Chains A and B, each alone.
Chain A
Amino acid sequence: MKKTLIGAAVAGLMVLGTAATAFAGSADGMKIALVGKSAGNAFFEIAASSFVEAAEAEGATVDVVYPEAATADAQIKVLDNLISQAPDAICISANDVNALQAKLEEAMDAGIKVSSFDSAPNPDSRQIFINQAGTKAVGQALMDAVCDLAGGEGQWAILSATSQAANQNAWIAVMEDLAANDEKYANLEEVPIAYGDDEPQKSTDQTQALLDNYPDLKVICAPTTVGIAAAAKLLQDSGSAVKLTGLGLPSEMKEYTGADDAHSCPYFYLWDMQGLGKLSALTTIALVNGDITGALDETFTAGDLGEYTITEADDGGTEVVLGLPLEFNEENIEEMAKLY
């Protein structure tokens, strides 16, 4: 009780603090450099433009820089240039976990604040990471979708990317843990995982085999953009009653998304890249203003996104988690397909 009170008081002070700086123009004259993985990734650019918009609204100027190739070497060159220009902050989507450490430490020693989003360098190379959605939140959302689409009972399957894909395996582990331990999913039965290797051809073969092998199958969950699109097409073309969910790109899934029987996928998920860009901008500004230092359990207010608490990341560093993955269904797919 005491703890929550103190927490609330601290949070209140923080709100006052940010509100006060906001009146003074919370980021007037601030210079931020945003470093991407490589030029021309449409998906990343959604986050980048949202970052720029949010930061400029606060009075900061943002320089979006891309390395000439999607390698750590190329990013080091970019960082070299940036350090000599001495911006107030660098926010980076790292091409390598460890290779940037020396350069980013050099930047921090020079008084530049370093935040990271989309893809994190190791904890020593950054002050804070802004994460789109925690592994647990994704696994939970997918498991709930499977349970909902299966009507609470019956067989379900996972169509993954490759057997060694780290992201997919982490989400699947959360799902399987929930399926095994939560009463809610006790009547669901998972069949062996199929791997489509992120190739449409193999994903199609594997989906067809799932249908042939398990006539009672109710739901397929494909936590990979290539797999879900291939499975969606096969299910829809063959008029199968099996329902699909997972992680996908709205523009790829538009033709297959809908609540009726003519569509194979009632709803699916993906990151909220716009929200991620905005939160990253506001977190970076808070870092420069000294509202936060990136330490565990600090809280701050990110504009109209609300209040955020800094938590421990999977890699041992600290992070801010945006929230749940975004759901795409027949209501918003039309509009979202234009974006992603």
Chain B
Amino acid sequence: MKQKSTLKKLLGSREFLLLVIVIAMFLIVSAINPAFFSFKAISDMMKNNAVTMVMALGMLCVMLVGGIDISCMSALALSAMSIGMLFKYGGLTSTILAFLIATAIGTACGFVVGLIISRADVPPIIATMGFMYIWRALGYLVSFGGEWAGANVLGDFPNFGTGSLLGLNNLVWVIIIAYVIFFIFMKWFRLGRKIYAVGSNPEAAQVSGINVRNIKLLVYTVMGVLSGLSGALYVATYASAQPNMNETTGAMDIIAACVIGGVSMSGGRGTVIGVLLGSFIMAMIPKALPLLHIDALWQNTIKGVLILVVVVVNAVLQRVADRNALSRREM
């Protein structure tokens, strides 16, 4: 009896629906172009989307408390540009040190954003819009107004992006480790559960003794940690630091990955597995469209339509599932 209800719960869950969508997309695209379906293709796809996939975990935490962070890509650019220039002029050679410095800068950025939002009660979209400009401008400043740090000055650092461990690319390992840590943290750690509590009902959380302000400070700092880490990942992946990196897409791809993954814009709802599947879908779309020989000018339009379709289908099915659950309870 219990087994049956677990199965039912699984089948009715949002994550299961997303998994079906991911598998369906894989099968359809692979049927049309077999180049899509290979270990290397999937590994390359994850490698090329490591930044988005890792940062989506931070955005999950931020969105769970009902916030949003559109400054994260600028924080990424600042931390990436900083280590790029340190490699170029500062005599930096150590890969580990580069990761630590980038992560530290990102953490500092996130902490400041968190302070402004949690202590000054500025709406997150406004506060992070401000910091989106500030971090980006600082990124240009540290790059002496637009210099790049290219492969010729980065030494061994880009080897991290091409190297592998046990047959898996290092970047894929980073993604796996990040998701495992967050899965455990969000599900079984008190602090992780507190984030959910603040998101679903801030007043109740406050009354029950949770320091809502500190939780808000925490989630933006976590976003900062991941932005800084991703800055280093970015430089390692593309062997290049440019102050305008990811300026046009900004944080939108990350937010889209979360929304597709079922994270609620108003907080309280969203899971690590959902974000994993959501960011997988976001990674598959730009990879698949050119393989389907879709005209270049149509690719962004179709990307937008696909995001909306996935979200709408998902929301409708969720509503049906909710209604079923409710009607069962009434009986």
Seen from chain A, the residues whose Cβ lies within 8 Å of a Cβ on chain B are 38-43, 163, 192-195, 197-202, 204-206, 208-210, 212-213, 226, 229-230, 233, 237, 249, 251-256, 337
Instruction: Give the residue of B35, B145, B245, B299 whose beta carbon is less than 8 angstroms from that of A200.
Output: B245
| B238 engages A204 (CB within 8 Å) | yes
Please tell me which stretch of B64-72, B147-155, B258-266, B314-322 contacts chain A, meaning at least 4 of its Cβ atoms lie within 8 angstroms of it.
Answer: B147-155
Q: Is B249 an interface residue (CB 8 A)?
A: yes
Known interface pairs A40-B145, A199-B249, A204-B48. Does A252 touch B151 (Cβ–Cβ under 8 Å)?
yes
Chain B residues near A249: list those with CB within 8 A.
148, 150
Chain A residues near B145: list those with CB within 8 A.
38-42
Instruction: Give the residue of A192, A210, A237, A253 whose beta carbon is less than 8 angstroms from that of B162.
Output: A237
Known interface pairs A42-B144, A163-B297, A209-B291. Does A197 touch B152 (Cβ–Cβ under 8 Å)?
no
Q: Is B279 an interface residue (CB 8 A)?
A: no
Q: How far apart are the CA atoms of A284 and B234 in the complex, in Å? A: 44
| B162 engages A212 (CB within 8 Å) | no
Instruction: Give the residue of A197, A198, A233 whose beta carbon is less than 8 angstroms from that of B239.
Output: A233
Taken residue by residue from 36 to 54, chain B's Cβ proximity to chain A (1 for < 8 Å, 0 otherwise) reads as 1000010010001101000
Chain A residues near B150: list those with CB within 8 A.
229, 249, 251-255
Instruction: Give the residue of A197, A199, A205, A226 whose beta carbon is less than 8 angstroms from that of B290.
Output: A205
| A197 engages B148 (CB within 8 Å) | no
Q: Is B123 an interface residue (CB 8 A)?
A: no
| B238 engages A233 (CB within 8 Å) | yes
Known interface pairs A192-B296, A194-B296, A201-B49. Does A40 touch B146 (Cβ–Cβ under 8 Å)?
yes
Q: How far apart are the CA atoms of A339 and B256 in the complex, in Å? A: 41
Q: How far apart are the CA atoms of A249 and B152 in the complex, in Å? A: 11
Q: How far apart are the CA atoms of A213 and B162 in the complex, in Å? A: 23
Chain A residues near B296: list those with CB within 8 A.
163, 192-195
| B148 engages A251 (CB within 8 Å) | yes
The 7 closest A-B pairs by CB, nearest first: A40-B145, A209-B290, A212-B35, A252-B150, A255-B151, A254-B152, A200-B238
Extra contacts, 16 of them, besides A200-B234, A201-B49 (Cβ < 8 A), are A39-B145, A40-B145, A194-B290, A194-B296, A199-B249, A200-B238, A200-B240, A200-B242, A205-B48, A212-B33, A212-B35, A230-B240, A233-B151, A252-B150, A253-B150, A254-B152
What are 7 A-B pairs at a CB distance below 8 A? A198-B244, A198-B248, A201-B48, A201-B49, A205-B287, A212-B35, A255-B239
Taken residue by residue from 211 to 222, chain B's Cβ proximity to chain A (1 for < 8 Å, 0 otherwise) reads as 000000000000
Q: Is B246 an interface residue (CB 8 A)?
A: yes
Minimal beta-carbon separation of B300 from chain A (angstroms): 9
| B248 engages A40 (CB within 8 Å) | no
Minimal beta-carbon separation of A215 from chain B (angstroms): 9
Q: Is B295 an interface residue (CB 8 A)?
A: yes
Chain A residues near B130: list those with CB within 8 A.
none
Instruction: Give the residue of A39, A195, A230 whose beta carbon is less than 8 angstroms from that of B238.
Output: A230
Q: How far apart are the CA atoms of A255 and B240 in the complex, in Å? A: 11
Q: How far apart are the CA atoms of A167 and B48 in the complex, in Å? A: 27
Chain A residues near B249: list those with CB within 8 A.
199
Chain B residues near A253: list those with CB within 8 A.
150
Within 8 A of A (CB), among B106-151: 140, 144-148, 150-151
| A256 engages B33 (CB within 8 Å) | no
Chain B residues near A204: list those with CB within 8 A.
48, 238
| B152 engages A201 (CB within 8 Å) | no
Q: Is B286 an interface residue (CB 8 A)?
A: yes
Q: Is B8 an interface residue (CB 8 A)?
A: no
Chain A residues near B151: list those with CB within 8 A.
229, 233, 252, 254-256
Q: Is B293 an interface residue (CB 8 A)?
A: yes
Q: How far apart are the CA atoms of A253 and B295 in the complex, in Å? A: 29
Q: How far apart are the CA atoms of A206 and B287 in the complex, in Å? A: 8
Minimal beta-carbon separation of A205 from chain B (angstroms): 5
Chain B residues near A192: list those with CB within 8 A.
293, 295-296
| B238 engages A251 (CB within 8 Å) | no
Q: Who on chain B is nearest to A195 by CB?
A: B296
| B240 engages A229 (CB within 8 Å) | yes
| A251 engages B49 (CB within 8 Å) | no
Q: How far apart are the CA atoms of A89 and B146 in the complex, in Å? A: 28
Within 8 A of A (CB), among B259-302: 286-287, 290-291, 293, 295-297, 299
